[in-house]
């Protein structure tokens, strides 16, 4: 029930941001159009968000002969979860995520880069983390946030161009106000990112703890996080910012005030929490 309420609130908040942009761009007509878009996006996000995200990263399905599949099968059985679909992302940057609307419709994806640098124990730590997200039913919220945030950012980008070109409310007697429109678009985009970040950070600690329990020890995940923190900075993932919260480690570096927008807690804090659990 908790995650159902959180999913509903998330859909409402991100839909509201979408409608703010619509109203700023087209007045009452823009609000009506944005409401229609939000309804369609909510429906599509629930049923198809996992497929959208997997396609975004050109993820390829793998079968029982693959090392990743074998690790997922082993740990899924240990966690008493249905076997997820397993995908490999053709990218040298080391990372992984889980997606889907529930444990019976879940998928686990990992990059070629993470498979290259982690040994079996470390890989099991990462897979345990992702399966903990599945078990905690974080994956629906995460996938919906990615889809709606991507839509908001795309519409905000289009609206920015409209503001620069002098667009805006055509039906209002006062005419358009490009500066106000631009400010609304920026604030709406920031709000979408903050909502996305807030739902993600707290979940990472829970998935770390749950993943360590599934793997049988926190040390594989601890060593994996240490490697991933270094390697992901050396080879950053060309990730869509709207999906950054889905990955086990932030795909690009953030510093200074930008940490407010970080989708992940500091890796050092996650490692300390895991070692405290040990």
pLDDT tens digits, residue range 170-199? 444 444 566 666 676 677 667 666 666 666
| Least confident range of 38-42, 80-84, 214-218 | 38-42
Q: How far apart are CA 219 and CA 208, in angstroms?
A: 11
Pair of tokens at residue 117: 């640098």
Instruction: Please report the pLDDT score of residue 195 as a whole number.
Output: 64
Q: Is 130 a catalytic residue?
A: yes
Number of domains in the chain: 1
User: Can you give the residue range of the structural domain that contains 75?
Assistant: 2-277
Q: How far is CA 222 from CA 16, 127, 129, in A?
A: 39, 13, 11
Q: How far apart are CA 20 and CA 72, in angstroms?
A: 42
**Using CA atoms in the order 131, 135, 136, 140, what is the torsion angle rounded to 10 degrees?**
80
Catalytic one of 122, 124, 130, 204: 130
Locate all alpha helices (DSSP H) within 165-218, ordered by sequence. Answer: 178-215
**In the predicted model, what is the mean pLDDT of the chain?**
81
Q: How far apart are CA 128 and CA 259, in angstroms?
A: 26
Residue-wise pLDDT for 19-48, tens only, equals 777 776 666 776 677 777 767 766 666 677
Instruction: Please report the pLDDT score of residue 222 as a whole number.
Output: 98
């Amino acid at each position: 029930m908790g995650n159902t309420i959180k999913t509903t609130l998330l859909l409402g908040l991100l839909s509201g941001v979408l409608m703010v942009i619509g109203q700023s761009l087209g007045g009452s007509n823009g609000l009506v159009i944005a409401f229609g878009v939000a309804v369609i996006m909510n429906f599509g996000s629930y049923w198809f968000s996992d497929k959208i995200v997997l396609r975004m990263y050109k993820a390829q399905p793998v079968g029982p002969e693959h090392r990743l599949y074998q690790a997922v099968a082993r740990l899924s059985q240990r966690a008493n979860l249905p076997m997820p679909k397993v995908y490999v992302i053709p990218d040298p940057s080391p990372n992984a995520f889980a997606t889907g609307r529930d444990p019976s419709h879940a998928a686990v994806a990992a990059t070629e880069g993470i498979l290259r640098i982690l040994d079996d124990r470390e890989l099991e730590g990462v897979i345990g983390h992702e399966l903990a997200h599945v078990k905690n039913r974080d994956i629906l919220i995460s996938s919906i946030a990615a889809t709606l945030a991507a839509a908001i950012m795309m519409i905000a980008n289009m609206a920015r161009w409209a503001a620069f070109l002098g667009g805006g409310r055509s039906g209002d007697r006062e005419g358009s106000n490009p500066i106000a429109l631009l400010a609304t678009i920026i604030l709406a985009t920031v709000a979408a990112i903050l909502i996305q970040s807030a739902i993600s950070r707290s979940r990472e600690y829970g998935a770390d703890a749950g993943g360590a329990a599934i793997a049988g020890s926190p040390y594989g995940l601890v060593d994996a996080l240490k490697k991933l923190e270094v390697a992901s900075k050396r080879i950053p993932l060309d990730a869509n910012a709207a999906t950054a919260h889905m990955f086990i480690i932030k795909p690009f570096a953030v510093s200074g005030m930008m940490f407010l927008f970080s989708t992940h807690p500091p890796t050092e804090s996650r490692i300390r929490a895991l070692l405290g659990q040990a």
